[in-house]
Amino acid sequence: MIGKFRRLYDDEHRPAFDWMLITAALAAISQGVAFALTVPVLTALFESRPGDAWPWLFALVIAAIVYAVLHYTSLTIGYSAGAQLARIVHHRLGDHVVALPLGWFTERRTGELSQLASQNVVQLMRVAAMQVRPLINAIVVPLTVFAAMLLFDWRMALAGALAVPVVAVAYRLFGNLISRTDHTVDAASAQASGRVVEFARNQPVLRAFGQREHGGQLLEDSLRRQHDTGRAQIVSGSVGLTGYIVVLQAAFVWLLLAGVYLALDGTLATPELLGLLVLAVRFVEPLIHAADDGATLRIAGNTIDRVEKVLAERPLPQPENPQVPEDASIELRDVRFGYDDDPVLDGVSLRVPPGGLTALVGPSGSGKTTITRLIARFHDAWDGGVLIGGVDVREMTTETLMSQLSLVFQDVFLFEGTIEENVRIGRADATDDELREAARRARVDEIVARLPDGWNTRVGEGGWTLSGGERQRVSIARALLKDAPIVLLDEATAALDAHNSSAVTDAIAELTSHRTVLVIAHDLNTVAHADEIVLLSDGRIAERGTHAELLAGGGDYARFWSYRDQSNSWQLGAAR
Amino acid sequence: MTAAPPRERPVDQRPTARTAVRIGFGELMRPVRGQLAVAVAVQAVSCVAAVVPFAAVAELGRVLLTTPVDRQAVWTIAVIAAGALVLRTLLLLAAGCLSHLADVTFQHITRRRLAAHLGTVPLGWFTASNSGTVKKAVADDVQALHHLVAHTLLDLTNAVVMPATAIAYLLAVDWRMTVICLVPLALGALCYFRAMGGYAEQMIAFDQALSKINSSVVELVRGITVIKTFGRTERGHARFRRSADDFATFFLAWVRAKTAISATADLLLSPVVMLTTVLIAGTILIESGTLAAVDVLPFALLGLGLSAPMLAIGTNIIALRASRQAAERITTVLSTPALAEPAEPRTIDDTAVDGTTVEFRDLRFTYDGGTEALRGIDLELRPNTVTALVGPSGSGKSTLARMLPRFWDPTEGAVTIGGVDLRDLDPNTLYRTVSFVFQDVQLLNTSVRDNIALARPDATLDEIVAVAKAAEIHDRISELPSGYDAVVGTDVQLSGGEAQRVSIARALLADTPVLVLDEATAFVDPEAEVAIQRALSRLARGRTLLVIAHRLATIRGSDQIVVLDNGNIAEQGTHDDLLARDGRYAGMWHAQQEASAKRGGLR
């Protein structure tokens, strides 16, 4: 477990952690020695020669001072080692994830990563700084005490030693009894949490449809299950804990009885026995804490496993001899790809010449988005090639590839900062004139004029102070400033009001002129103007051609558009 | 666009929160108070029992050191020590078991209480941020009280009873030694509490540093696409690195400032220092002839154990602070004002001609007590007519529509159905009369069948299939291996359009005379959109309809179109009336026609 911690450190800071371990162990030894000195002191006192106790007391004071110094040292190093651990883990995580393929960042993973980088790393820091030392103490003190007992009376030491494997077996046995129920309790709690969220989110529906009491049976049942598993865990856990502690206490009783027997037998001097019994308490007590500290460390170990799992994710491979694209064309050659075992794209080939406009259409799940994601190298294809300007994307550095592309997707992310900073992400060294020009063309100037602090208005976390249409215009301004030759565009599907919709349309028109465009199209006009339309179905290209050709072909595309016309002319309540 | 509900409602309970908590806290614990009292009593007995074995060992010394040794007495004492030890252990575990069981009961009762209360607060309260609050309160905060309920009381009992018993025994043995023992203890405690000083403030700073990491990591991962596509890996990354460094620096500065004092406390309270003190003082007193050698033994055995329970107080103070915050959040939720229940609920006669006429009378409403979202709406919805609400985002369309299913109560004025104020209406009658289909459809994680049958759990499968067919979702469900028993979200992932059709089926089965509808459909392919439209047409038939309209073309055949602007009714009439008037509606109509003609002209 401690080895796992050591692995997380870099070479520069590992020695500090090791020093903490060493000083903590030495402090524990000096503590054990101090305890051991009790025996000669008490012996001297009980044998009515208190004067003889002084040398031993002097040694005791020395041991106490050594302990104090070592404890202080270990504490100081430990705090700093803990803080360093947090820093190192944060940096390692940060450095590593930015090198991962963009496709790695799913909703679930980003949630897990946030949790890992905040609460969990802090937990590791706390354990490293504050809880490793007590564990070392809990192990090394009894060992030292045992060694001392061996010096004083081998039979008592042996009796103590006999207790250790029994205690260890009991710990394992009963510890299992406790942790075996963890899983069911966790599952029941997770389920109940899910039900709670569902209950809150669906409150209007639940109430409107008559499920007012306790949010319906679903929540009620899951809370009941959580309660029952919790109870069951406590019952079995109590049995486990009782077993363990009784065994532990039995070890002391065993020592006591053995000692009394030896004393009555006359083979162990009473003063020594009494000293040894004081020592026996110091032998048993740390072991009780060892169980708790061990459990904390085990949980930290699981966290470390999760950190290491993230660190073990393979970064996007970078080419050995990076190449540069020759023009602004896009090409897919017989591409196969899937997110799990099932292919989402199953042999797709297409080419967009420089300056061309190709529209991807098809039902949801047909692979449109996946194509754009492969071009931007969120993932690498299983088979076939994805080429930009005649060069496979895997033969380019990430920088080269990204410099060719502008991505305008639906979920626009703005950084907490000013509007200006957010547009400037497009090109850090852009002049103010260039910035204003991009803003004008994307109609961001209107937004800026409306906002209280103009360009210096902060957009809030994720840009929430702006509407969806406005955020999209900011992202287009960014892309205009970047001025990449290829645009990958996912047309907005959310309903925008007339003004926003028209502004976004203008902005997109600015962005897409004179560039190579691959667009996931939802709109009739976009498609009608495309040089080529590609209709995807189940990861294959079902139809391709111009709007007129496809309509004339009378295939799925034609049917698709007849539905579109039908839906556009629909009126609510018209059927009455 | 829909008028989005305000992102965050100011927590107006804030100023009174503290008093509310003090009342609420004991209130929260009430159901398990008895159980906890028993646990504390058992714990107290176990603390007394804990002292016995040590005292017995000391007595053992006394007997063994007197010659001749009373062998019988030796064994008796040894057995008493062993017995007390076992008793102590069993009682300790019993107390722990009792308090843990009390905690499980407490958690269950509190969660059900929260759920029951949440079933009565205004629907409008459930904003996105508040559903986060609910999850936190019901799941996390109740869990966060675990330490308080299950451990703190017992630890405190331990911290008081055990040292008290031990000190009483030690005083009986020798008062001078006892006082000497207490010196390092008192000094240690003093240092300890000084080390804890300023903890609350530091903890706030700690949380801030932590939340900076949190937001920078969220920004890093959520913005990773932007960061990478604009070649700005350094930027997003740098902020994260910086906040990580700041955090580490902050933590170090905090603990460094406290290292000396807390190390001193540790040392003073450590067994080593206590042992040294006892043995040196004992030796001096023995040499002076005023203390029997054997009387050192109780101090060497018991004195050393005095500090451990005290250290637990510190841990518990920290835990207590954390749980206070959790309890505060729970009581805040519990003290959210509930929707007023009518004292004498009235029902309506929906078979009467005007039984389901809806009226908004001089309706005013404000979310926060400041700006009015609705400023005096007078509107009548005649039975079996379609009324469409149109207007720019923020004009109050969604707010007005949501007043009808009583998401909120009016600030002034009234909403009536069949002449009865919604506030006087029996809630069950209300929801038997009004249902709704909104854009953000969420399905329950249960079978498709139960999802549809929500309003009428006793509906037969035939009835369910019939509405599913009418909602054009039957074919999709039939394709599933487990059909209507397929669990949504587990066995089958339904797309936005499919979920919408399930919610239409649900509304069809509920079959209420009044329906509130949000016309915008989640984007789906044209074929699915047509299916949804057909389903909506079937649902709308023969009902009083209030529609939040986005595409004017869709609602141009409505009986009346209401144009909202800034919370007021700006225009009202049929499509033709309003076009003829050439006012706002006409302007919107032309703008939308133009926009749709222009849209998508990429080149």
Secondary element (H or E) of residue A466 = none
Q: Where are the domains of chain B?
A: 31-171, 358-602
Model pLDDT, residue B562: 95
Q: For residue B254, name the pLDDT band (cuts at 50, 70, 90).
A: confident
pLDDT at A575 over 50: no
pLDDT at B9 over 70: no
CATH of A330-568, one of 3.20.20.70, 3.30.428.10, 3.40.50.300, 1.10.540.10: 3.40.50.300
Query: Higher pLDDT residue, B398 or B486?
Result: B486
What's the whole-number mean pLDDT along residues B252-276?
89
Option in B231, B407, B442 nearest A402 (CB): B231
A98 vs B119: CB contact, 8 Å cut-off?
no
CA–CA separation, B476 vs B483, rounded Å? 9
Q: Where are the domains of chain A?
A: 2-311, 330-568
Q: For residue A496, name the pLDDT band (cuts at 50, 70, 90).
A: low
Q: Is B336 left (phi over 0), alpha (psi -120 to 50) or beta?
A: beta
CA–CA separation, B450 vs B553, rounded Å? 35
Model pLDDT, residue B125: 81
Model pLDDT for residues B96-154, shown as the tens digit of each residue: 899 999 999 999 999 988 888 888 888 778 776 676 778 788 888 888 888 888 888 89
CA–CA separation, B551 vs B88, rounded Å? 76
Model pLDDT for residues A93-106, shown as the tens digit of each residue: 988 988 888 888 88
pLDDT at A305 over 50: yes
What's the whole-number mean pLDDT along residues A327-356?
92
Q: How many CB atoms lie within 10 A of CB B365?
A: 24
- Asked if B384 and B99 count as a contact pair (C-beta separation under 8 A), the reply is no
Model pLDDT for residues B52-108, shown as the tens digit of each residue: 988 888 888 888 888 788 888 988 998 898 889 889 888 988 998 999 999 999 999
Closest CA to B541 of A575, A456, A17, A185: A575
- Asked if B392 and B430 count as a contact pair (C-beta separation under 8 A), the reply is no
* DSSP letters spanning A82-140: HHHHHHHHHHHHHHHHTTS-GGG--HHHHHHHHHIIIIIHHHHHHIIIIIHHHHHHHHH
Architecture of the structural domain at B358-602: 3-Layer(aba) Sandwich (3.40)
Model pLDDT for residues A512-550, shown as the tens digit of each residue: 888 999 998 877 667 778 899 999 988 999 999 998 899
Option in A205, A253, A526 nearest B602 (CB): A526
Q: Does B594 reach chain A within 8 Å, measured CB to CB?
A: yes
Q: What are phi and psi of B437, to 5 degrees?
A: -130, 110
Q: For residue A470, name the pLDDT band (cuts at 50, 70, 90).
A: confident
Question: 3-class DSSP state for residue B568?
Answer: strand
**Sheet hosting strand A516-520, strand order edge to edge:** A405-408, A486-490, A516-520, A357-361, A532-537, A540-545
B594 vs A86: CB contact, 8 Å cut-off?
no
**Sheet hosting strand A391-392, strand order edge to edge:** A345-352, A330-337, A383-388, A391-392
Model pLDDT for residues A196-208, shown as the tens digit of each residue: 878 887 777 777 7
CB contacts, 8 Å: A144 with chain B:
none
pLDDT at B583 over 80: yes
CB contacts, 8 Å: B524 with chain A:
364
Quick one: tokens of A509? 């028109």
State how far residue B336 is from chain A, nearest Cα, in angstroms: 14
Q: For residue B353, name the pLDDT band (cuts at 50, 70, 90).
A: low
Model pLDDT, residue B14: 30
Model pLDDT, residue A215: 52
Model pLDDT for residues A239-274, shown as the tens digit of each residue: 777 777 778 778 778 888 888 888 888 888 888 888
E-strand stretches of B34-80: none
CA–CA separation, A423 vs B232, rounded Å? 13
Which CATH number describes the domain made up of A2-311?
1.20.1560.10
Closest CA to B280 of B181, B357, B380, B353: B181
Specify which of A45-59, A94-108, A228-242, B441-455 reaches the highest per-range mean pLDDT.
A45-59
CB contacts, 8 Å: B498 with chain A:
none
Q: What is the mean pLDDT of chain A?
A: 85
What's the whole-number mean pLDDT along residues A439-444?
90
A296's CB contacts (< 8 A; 6+ apart) are A127, A131
**Optimal mutation site among A45, A122, A372, A408, interface B, most CBs of chain B within 10 A:** A45
Q: For residue B20, name the pLDDT band (cuts at 50, 70, 90).
A: very low
pLDDT at B17 over 50: no
B65 vs A526: CB contact, 8 Å cut-off?
no
- Asked if B76 and B52 count as a contact pair (C-beta separation under 8 A), the reply is no
- Chain B nearest-CA residue for A407: B229
Model pLDDT, residue A179: 67
- Asked if B399 and B571 count as a contact pair (C-beta separation under 8 A), the reply is no
